[in-house]
Amino acid sequence: MDFRYTPEQTELKARAAAYTRLLMRYEEQSEEAGGPLPADTVRELTRAAIDAGVYAINMPAEWGGAGLSLLDQVIVEEEFGKVTNCLWDIPWRPANVLAYGTEAQREKYLLPVIRGERFDAFAVTEPGAGSDPGSGTSTATRTAGGWLLNGEKWFVTCGDIADFLLVQADAGPGRAATLFLVDKQAPGVEMTRVPRFMHSAVNGHPEFRFTDVFVPDEDVLGGVGNGYELTKEWFTDERLMIAARTVGAAERALELARDWAVERRQFGSRIADFQLIQGMLADSAVDIAVNRAYTHQIAWEADQPRTDRKTLHAKASTAKLAASEAAGRVVDRCLQIFGGRGYDRSYPVERMYRELRVDRIWEGTSEIQRLIIANELIKRGTGALALPR
């Protein structure tokens, strides 16, 4: 197994890094605005991402996407993770399960997203159904030519800018978990609130209410009853990308803290010469190195033929759990190294400190990841998490 980057991957990483540096120019503007950037700016940055080949990186080239493998996507997302204010949302990656749509669904929904003309958002969480998506109460009732959707969804990331939503609801009397493609402007769709969270993200995480929203049969994604499996596949990819981004964020935090420790002088010496500071720098380097290696490994495994998807689900949970918690430790140390300046919102480490906290919550809390991993161990033994043969 050779994890050295190919020349193509080295060039891809350079392109992603260059685009990330472009996004960094807008960090303070986004922070001062409380998150959003002007629409014209977002359009310019979107076009720049498309031109750089780092937009819709998870979609096939023949459809207009970048056509990257999961390992290549991890390389890109690791660079994106270095930017604050969730500006990595601008180089959009459509929900991977949109690729399972019919040709008509692809033309109507997916291809415009790949071209940067429309946006999608995934709606799963409910007021009473967070870590347990199976306890959701959103329903779809059969009617002539389609379904009537009723329910409520919370924390719909990028729902404020989305043109349509992928809504998970229980269909019919058998309560079959199903994904519905719902136009946000459809009658009965109401965006009720856009909460203010700890981080100042470029896009929001609004709440929605659905009241007798008509969804035609042709807008059921993947067939009735396949919603849970599709959502699980979406979670697998998203958790792997969270692992990659948190590794990137931790790396930037460490780089900033290292440079500060070398320059900052107290008691007549560089603070980098103090062993307590050295310990924090070393522990941070270990956290980053180990989690980068594991995240790359799992992405590589996912790209191999005959990879067991159930085991991959648990391995992606392992990567997300380990990397997100390690990044939290790293940025906490780095903020401490900066001292009072680290608590200043104009410093990136402060923003990262707030932003990285949610990575232990969204797309499944750390506790849920532990349950997924433990369940795989109980069912299949420790060999289920070993390297593939």
pLDDT in tens, 132-165: 777 889 999 999 999 999 999 999 999 999 999 9
CATH for 228-385 is: 1.20.140.10
Q: Cα(129)–Cα(364) distance, rounded to whole angstroms? A: 12
pLDDT in tens, 7-58: 999 999 999 999 999 999 999 999 999 999 999 999 999 999 999 999 999 9
Is residue 363 part of the annotated active site? The answer reads: yes
> What's the mean pLDDT in 88-117?
98
Q: Which of 126, 363, 367, 376 is catalytic?
A: 363
CATH of 120-224, one of 2.40.50.140, 3.65.10.10, 3.90.226.10, 2.40.110.10: 2.40.110.10
- Mean pLDDT over all residues of the chain? 96
> What's the mean pLDDT in 64-88?
98
Instruction: Give me the residue spans of the domains in the chain.
Output: 7-93, 120-224, 228-385
Please state which CATH class domain 7-93 belongs to: mainly alpha
Q: Cα(137)–Cα(210) distance, rounded to whole angstroms? A: 12
